[in-house]
Structure 1
Amino acid sequence: MSWKFETSGLDGQCKLFDVNIFDYDWKSIGKRVKVQDPIYGQDHIFEVWQAEIGGQIRCFAAGEFSNCVWGFYLENCMRKDSIE
């Protein structure tokens, strides 16, 4: 599966899965993926994380595009627009 950009935001202030993702504990799953910055097209290697949100384990790739500016990616099959 490919990883697609979902959202970005400032450190501590980003909504993912309809919650502020920074309010949850993230645990690395020991995997890294290559993603592309949606604005500048630059490649980044981001860690894949999981967090328990509302009793469900959610996985996402996340990292900093620049100081305190985070990007979040979901696997293509997990994106809202690919669920029918």
Structure 2
Amino acid sequence: MTRSADQEYITTAIGKKYRVEKSSDFEYVTTAIGEECFLFGVDVFAHEWTDTRKCIRVHDPLYGQPYTMNIYEITVDGTVYRFAAGEFSNNVWGFWLPTNRVRPDGRDSARIPPDESNAPHTKGQEKRSS
């Protein structure tokens, strides 16, 4: 774990560097068993997940165990949506959405404007592993 200019980073076991976002910016929404979870009106497992190289630190809502969950984006009908997710155990997934989903400008913060999205740059980024 490193810090630079008030920003925290972690490095995974395989050497990838992830920026740690504020966990308070996300709220737990659901746990999914298996590979089916509906967010944004779609099954997120039916879409390719773009790894943003960002993560949040959270606690399992049932047992309180700490986890680091990656932040991903998916594109649905040309719109990019952001969420955090990870496995609590084999095929038991936790999902978090941005806390203040409605921004002061009235837009849904889970829906990412094209200029803020990582989606156009997905080449070479990992798809989630299942």
Distance in 2 between the 1:31 and 1:44 partners?
A: 14
Cross-structure match for 1:42: 65
**Which secondary structure state, in structure 1, belongs to the residue aligned with residue 84 of structure 2?**
strand
**Which secondary structure state, in structure 1, belongs to the residue aligned with residue 45 of structure 2?**
helix
Cross-structure match for 2:98: 75
For the pair 1:53 / 2:76, whether they are aligned, the reply is yes
Cross-structure match for 2:42: 19
Cross-structure match for 2:87: 64
**Which secondary structure state, in structure 2, belongs to the residue aligned with residue 22 of structure 1?**
helix
Cross-structure match for 2:29: 6
Distance in 1 between the 2:72 and 2:99 partners?
A: 16
**Which secondary structure state, in structure 2, belongs to the residue aligned with residue 33 of structure 1?**
strand
Comparing 34-43 with 65-74, which one deviates more in the overlay?
A: 34-43
The residue type equivalent to 1:73 in the other structure is W
State the TM-score, normalized to the length of structure 2. 0.57
**Which secondary structure state, in structure 2, belongs to the residue aligned with residue 78 of structure 1?**
coil
Unaligned runs of 5+ in 2: 1-21, 103-107, 109-130
Q: Which structure 1 residue ranges, 4+ long, deviate > 4 Å from structure 2?
A: none
The residue type equivalent to 1:64 in the other structure is E
Point out which structure has higher relative CO (alpha carbons under 8 A, 6+ apart): 1
Larger gyration radius, structure 1 or structure 2: 2
User: Which has the larger share of strand?
Assistant: 1
Distance in 1 between the 2:71 and 2:51 partners?
A: 6
* Percent of residue pairs identical: 36
Distance in 1 between the 2:53 and 2:83 partners?
A: 12
